[in-house]
Structure 1
Amino acid sequence: MSTHWPRRRMHHVFAPDGRAVIAAMDAGITKGVAPGLERGRAAVKRIVDGGVDAILATIGLARAAADELGGTGLILALDSEIPSARYGVEQAVRWGADALELKVFPGNPEVTKMGELRELCAEGDKWGMPVMAEPIPVGFKALEAHTLANIAHGARVSAEAGADFVKAQYTGTPEEYREVVEGCLVPVLALGGPMKPTPLHALQMAYDAIQAGAGGIVYGRNIVEAERPDRMVAALVEIVHGGASVDVAAKHLNIPL
């Protein structure tokens, strides 16, 4: 396998400026019919029309919306009840995916999934398939563990395991989050997390993450559940790629400031 393939696939996720706006559309893997994704193909089309760089999707949604993706990057979510490295990489290659994603839980006393991440990265390397790790300290419900130090630790150990880029929770100020970014060996993209109180809060978080040196953002609910997902994507693109302020980007949303 040519060593050029991982780099080429990364160019399908990251724009020429080295940054990416990614829409996480993988909620159906656990929720089935998830808010904002009830009509999967239509949801993908709206987000692609907004100018998103890539989507994070299940194999089912990727298959159903293949005609809507065009040249937009595709990251396949491999979160599963069983280890997915041995079948997931080959499946991603067959479907023309550009990267894979796996959630891991550093610090979890029962299962961290870090071993699965190492295996996935090694298998991905054989096929020239990049891997995006999503480290969540201990677990989604262990909010007390979601400290800046633990988030930085999770990002670093994911990179050490071989991840090509990392999706990490945003917390604190831009100055504090810079510790996560600079402490990691690979690009860090800010995780959108729960639905923000207003679209402006979502835009502000993206702006702060970019100021901290993040390589972009991965937003799920804050894009797919927006009143106009295409306009939310366009506003985020203005911030991430255009360097726009929140006020300037918000003009895409037609809401009072």
Structure 2
Amino acid sequence: MHLGKAIRMERIMNRNNGRTIIVPLDHGVTVGPIYGLVDLRKTVDQVAEGGANAMLMHKGIPRCSHRAGGKDIGLIIHLSASTSLSPHPNAKALVGTVADALKLGADAISVHVNLGDETEPNMLADLGSLCAEANEWGMPVLAMMYARGPKIDNEYAPNIVAHCARVGVELGADIIKVNYTGDPQSFKKVVKGCCVPVVIAGGPKLESDRDLVQMVYDSIQAGGAGLSVGRNIFQHKKPAHIVAALNKIVHENWEVDAAMQLL
């Protein structure tokens, strides 16, 4: 691995276990300034204090969230965007470059691809090109790989998720983010089909803290490398506490009941 890429990977992942807790804060482009994304410095402080490895955001937001103090946390710049106002919300457009991320001091970039959408070819071309360019600069790439389109009946189906994950690996991504398939046995097959770390998405806001902690625990037991969860963390009433509980699961191999005591 390119030395620069290896160093940056260690800034967003635990170098001892290869796992990570990433908190995406990129939802403002998609749905606007929702709860948890208004005072970004406060939110970043809270997730950093809880032990998150990295935050993920669009290129304009570091100026609103850089704290110049507090606990350090990695930075991933997201390069894909679409809005809920569009008639084609699953069509992701590139809105940034590797150079943008480098200038911001980022440790990685991320790209979102919706397989099955009518604009899938464009998103695949963008992912492939960005992976090649990022590799030249030693910049890690996180690929958010989902199945969303007219042919997709269930985006959480194990074979669909495994296919999504494999596409990201095949095109050069260094970390893959996918939906959790619902049980460790099926998710283990997703992980087995990849030779790079696989993290799970949070999806819609869950009904309870235990649902989230259990899902992360199960994914780790299946060989997953952690999580990239947004709303279930930054909209939590105590973001630092839920991250701290997840930190014990991901980085210290705690059981669910023990981690729940922190909440």
Instruction: Give the distance between the partners of 2:141 and 2:148, measured in 1 at CA.
Output: 21
Q: Does 1:228 align with 2:238?
A: yes
Paired-residue identity, %: 37
How many residue pairs are counted as aligned between the two chains? 251
Q: Does 1:106 align with 2:115?
A: yes
TM-score, length of structure 2 as denominator length: 0.90
Q: Does 1:56 align with 2:65?
A: no
1:141 Cα shift?
A: 11
Deviations 1:156-184 (A, max 9, x none): 01110000110110012101100111111
Instruction: Give the distance between the partners of 2:108 and 2:101, measured in 1 at CA.
Output: 8
The 5-angstrom pairing of residues 78-89 of structure 1 reads: 78-80=79-81, 84=94, 87-89=96-98
Instruction: Give the distance between the partners of 1:21 and 1:132, measured in 2 at CA.
Output: 13
**Aligned partner letter, 1:12:** R
Contact 1:133 1:163 in 2 (8 A): yes
**Aligned partner letter, 1:47:** V
Deviations 1:194-228 (A, max 9, x none): 11110110000000000010011111111011110
**Which residue of structure 2 aligns with residue 71 of structure 1?**
72
**Which residue of structure 2 aligns with residue 121 of structure 1?**
131
**Which residue of structure 2 aligns with residue 206 of structure 1?**
216
Q: Does 1:159 align with 2:160?
A: no
- 1:59 counterpart SS class: coil
Structure 1 residues 74, 8: closer, same or farther in 2, change over 3 A? same
**Aligned partner letter, 1:111:** E
1:60 Cα shift?
A: 2.2
Contact 2:116 2:148 in 1 (8 A): yes
What is the root-mean-square deviation in Å for CA atoms of aligned residues?
2.0
Structure 1 residues 177, 80: closer, same or farther in 2, change over 3 A? same
Contact 2:116 2:150 in 1 (8 A): no
Contact 2:107 2:140 in 1 (8 A): yes
**Aligned partner letter, 1:204:** Q
**Which residue of structure 2 aligns with residue 194 of structure 1?**
204
Unaligned 5+ residue runs, structure 2?
A: 83-91
- Structure 1 window deviating more from structure 2 (143-152 vs 70-79): it is 143-152
